[in-house]
């Protein structure tokens, strides 16, 4: 049985609502907001919202470790840092369910094997497409990469704007949050960390590199 099928079965066992129930819930929220879900402009909104949720939260049906399962050892002795930077991601705050939009920089120092670069972007998406807080997402990406590839070290930096802060509450637009996780040589070797920060153009994060 595939990982996706297993997750669907687990969701069903936990009593996952049906599509009709999900659409009915959207109609309730529309009424609570003060509108009429039966008016012409909103008739198809519940179905659209449910379809969009399938896309927004597709990460729940993905096993991040399976993304990294296929690796390559024929690298002719390459043992320098591998960095994929400026990976755009969209996630949703688990406290207010509004967007978190940012970019991720992911690096590792291979020991024996490497993974296709598209897999690093897919790994970011697997965790981003869930209800999240940025701190937890940073740890999840770094720890999964470290556990599966077992490299000499891993570095992950996320920079993102949070609409729970810019469109509500304190209403502070233009503010970005930066989180990082450094493992292995990225934590213990200052020169490795500096190289990573220099590559991604963020030398100012040195003070929080061990977060």
27 within 8 A of 37, measured Cβ to Cβ: yes
Could you give phi then psi for residue 15, rounded to 5 degrees? 85, 40
Could you give phi then psi for residue 107, rounded to 5 degrees? -140, 150
Out of 90, 93, 150, 163, the active site residue is 93
> 96 catalytic, yes or no?
yes
Q: How confident is the model at residue 113 (pLDDT cuts 50, 70, 90)?
A: confident
Q: Indicate the domain borders of the chain.
A: 3-56, 72-208
> 94 catalytic, yes or no?
yes
> 164 catalytic, yes or no?
yes
> 10 catalytic, yes or no?
no
Global pTM reads: 0.86
Q: Is the pLDDT of residue 133 over 80?
A: yes
Report the CATH number of the 72-208 domain.
3.30.1130.10
CATH fold of 3-56? GTP Cyclohydrolase I; Chain A, domain 1 (1.10.286)
**pLDDT for position 164:** 81
- Span 14-29, average pLDDT: 92
**pLDDT for position 129:** 97
Q: Is the pLDDT of residue 12 over 80?
A: no
> 162 catalytic, yes or no?
yes
């Amino acid at each position: 049985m595939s990982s996706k099928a297993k997750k669907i079965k687990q969701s069903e066992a936990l009593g996952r609502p049906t599509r009709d129930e999900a659409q009915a819930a959207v109609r309730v929220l529309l009424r609570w907001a003060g509108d009429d879900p039966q008016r012409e402009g909103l008739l198809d909104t519940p179905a659209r919202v449910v379809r969009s949720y399938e896309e927004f939260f597709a990460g729940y049906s993905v096993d991040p470790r399976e993304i990294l399962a296929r690796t390559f050892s024929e690298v002719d002795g390459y043992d320098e840092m591998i960095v994929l930077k400026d990976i755009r991601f969209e996630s949703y705050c688990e406290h207010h369910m509004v967007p978190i939009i940012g970019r991720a920089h992911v690096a590792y120092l291979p020991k024996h094997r490497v993974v296709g670069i598209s897999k690093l972007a897919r790994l970011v998406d697997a965790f981003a497409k869930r209800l999240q807080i940025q701190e937890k997402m940073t740890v999840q990406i770094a720890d999964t990469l470290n556990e599966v590839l077992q490299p000499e070290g891993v570095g992950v930096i996320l920079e993102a704007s949070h609409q729970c802060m810019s469109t509500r509450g304190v209403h502070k637009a233009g503010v970005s949050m930066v989180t990082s996780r450094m493992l292995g040589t990225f934590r213990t070797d200052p020169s490795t960390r500096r190289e990573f920060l220099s590559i991604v153009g963020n030398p100012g994060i040195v003070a929080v590199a061990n977060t």
